[in-house]
Chains A and B, each alone.
Chain A
Amino acid sequence: MANNSGDKELVRSANMRSIYDKKRRVSDTILNGLIHLSTGFALTIVLVILGYIAFRGVPELDFGYFINQTSILKNTVGILPNIINTLYMIVLTLLIAVPIGVGGAIYLNEYADGGRFVDLVSFTTEVLSGIPSIVYGLFGYLFFGIFMGLSYSILTGALTLAIMVLPLISRNTQVALDNVPNSYREAALGIGSTKWYMIRTVLLPSAIPGILTGIILAMGRVVAESAALIFTAGAVAKLPSSFFGHITTSGATLTIQLYFEMAKGNFDIAFVIAVVLMVIVLTLNFLARWISMRFDVNRIK
Chain B
Amino acid sequence: MENKIVAKNLNLWYGEKQALKNIDLDIKEKSITAFIGPSGCGKSTFLKTLNRMNDYVDNIRIEGDVILDGENIYADGVDTTILRKKVGMVFQQPNPFPMTIYDNVAYGPRIHGIKDRKTLDKIVEESLKDAALYDEVKDRLHTNALGLSGGQQQRLCIARCLAVEPEVILLDEPTSALDPISTLKIEELLMELKAKYTIAIVTHNMQQASRIADYTAFFLIGEMIEYGKTDDLFSRPQDERTENYITGRFG
Contact = CB atoms under 8 A, between A and B. Distances in A.
Nearest to A181: B95
Contacts of A193: 81, 107-108, 111
A297 B83 CA distance: 30
Nearest to B94: A183
Which residue among B53, B91, B111, B146 has the maximum number of chain A CB atoms within 10 Å of its CB?
B111
Q: How many residues of A sit at the interface, in one of the four size bands?
A: 20 to 34
B242 to A, nearest CB: 30
Given A201-B107, A300-B147, A184 B95 contact: yes
A191 B95 contact: no
B88 interface: yes
Given A192-B84, A192-B112, A113 B107 contact: no
A188 B95 CA distance: 10
A37 B121 CA distance: 59
Given A297-B98, A300-B147, A191 B53 contact: no
A301 B144 contact: yes
Interface string B160-190: 1100100000000000000000000000000
A130 interface: no
B77 to A, nearest CB: 16
Contacts of B84: 189-192
Interface string A10-48: 000000000000000000000000000000000000000
B99 interface: yes
B85 interface: yes
Contacts of A192: 80-85, 88, 108, 111-112, 164
Interface string A182-213: 01111111111110010001100110000000
B207 to A, nearest CB: 27
A110 to B, nearest CB: 10
B95 A298 contact: no
A59 interface: no
A297 B81 contact: no
Contacts of B157: 187
Contact of A189 (B53, B82, B146, B164): B53
A298 B146 contact: yes
Contacts of A191: 84-85, 88-89, 107-108, 111, 160-161, 164
A113 B144 contact: no
A6 interface: no
Contacts of A186: 53, 89, 91, 95
Contacts of A190: 51, 53, 84, 88-89, 91, 161
Interface in B56-90: 56, 58, 80-85, 88-89
7 contacts: A181-B95, A184-B95, A185-B56, A190-B84, A190-B91, A191-B108, A201-B107
